[in-house]
Amino acid sequence: MENVSQDRIRLSASEAQTLSEQALGKIGYDAEEARIIADHVVDAALCGYEYSGLPKILNVAEHRQLRQPRRPMRVLRETPVSALFDGGNNNGMVAMYRATQVAIAKAREHGFSAVGVNNSWVSGRSAHYVEMVARADLIGIHSVSSRIHVAAPGSRDPATGTNPIAFAFPTLHEPFVVDLGTAAFMGTDLIFQERRDAVLPEGVAIDAQGRPTRDPAQVHAILPFGGHKGFALALAMQALGVVAGSGLGDDKTYGYLVMAIKPDLLVPLGDFKRDVSAMLARVKATPRQPGVDEIRIPSERAFRERAFALREGIEIDRRIYDVLLALPTGQLPALV
């Protein structure tokens, strides 16, 4: 651990992993669950997404579902190419990790898979799961319908979740990953900014009277990105959540869908990876506007940050670090 400044601390990846696993153990997760969640949040931090990094553990610790009864994940419906899981009120980073493994196994055997999860919460970065799929030489697609938090254009009250959509494609090099929320600001980032007493960007949220606000504590609804176009995508993710079983869940909103596709259902894998790599290279080689140093492809920055942070460590807010250390020891409800 290194003191970067009065407000920041630098941790190595190993130190961040240990801190995360210890904090998760304090709130009742067993060693395997703590490792899965810690792997997820530490990787988010390595990739430069601080709000989805170690602060996410506090979101889990404070979540209203944490102390509710939980059950082992169970299959509600299954075919050779699909499965629908009741997540049993388990944390989404654990449930989606396991669901993604099932999706990969089914797609490897049958060429395609679709796996849905309901009754789960706080699933983290969608990129994490589709990257797992792409590193298995499959195309990954992941959609989320989440807690209602985002207003429709012209509405004062929330209507949809922040509802991200993610894709990943194997290439000759690192996977090509696209991960975007359909909201102008992500809910996890909103919680993070409120912890830091920070100010939001202009035009991302409204208060209870429908007026623009930059105060995280006054946010009644987040706005969709791109106006009606972003809202249309959010509704599509909400509908995919229904096929993932959101209507069977306790709160009727959370639905996680992961799909995996073998490229060689249509074209040979080697040709696919070569041609996607060539397409990305062509895009990067397009002439740049004055003052632009590089045409950047989605996921490039995150992979560069990960490589750098694995060498140099990550920085976190000192207040987050102190709270993680001070988490009281608790006990999750036993699996029933």
- DSSP secondary structure, 139-189, as one string: EEEEEEE-SS-EEPTT-SSEEE----EEEEE--SSS-EEEEE-SBSS-HHH
Q: Is residue 117 part of a domain?
A: yes
What is the spatial distance between Cα 83 and Cα 102, in angstroms, rounded to a whole number? 8
Q: Stretch 64-74: mean pLDDT, rounded? A: 93
Q: Is residue 61 part of a domain?
A: yes
Q: Is residue 286 part of a domain?
A: no
Q: Is residue 169 part of a domain?
A: yes
What is the spatial distance between Cα 316 and Cα 115, in angstroms, rounded to a whole number? 34
List, in order, residues 6 or more apart from 292 with CB less than 8 Å away.
Answer: none
Average pLDDT, the chain: 94
Q: Which of 16, 18, 17, 34 is nearest to 332 (CA)?
A: 34
Q: Is residue 39 part of a domain?
A: yes
- Cα angle value 70/73/77 (rounded, 5°): 130
Residue-wise pLDDT tens digits, 121-166: 999 999 999 999 999 999 999 999 998 999 999 999 999 999 999 9
Task: Look up the domain containing 175 and give its range.
Answer: 2-269+303-326
Residue-wise pLDDT tens digits, 162-186: 999 999 999 999 999 999 999 998 8
Q: pTM above the 0.85 mark?
A: yes
Q: Is the pLDDT of residue 332 over 80?
A: no
Q: Is residue 37 part of a domain?
A: yes
Q: What is the pLDDT of residue 71?
A: 94
Count of domains forming the chain: 1
Please report, for the domain that includes residue 178, its CATH number: 3.30.1370.60
Q: Is residue 293 part of a domain?
A: no
Q: Is residue 280 part of a domain?
A: no
Q: Is the pLDDT of residue 1 over 80?
A: no
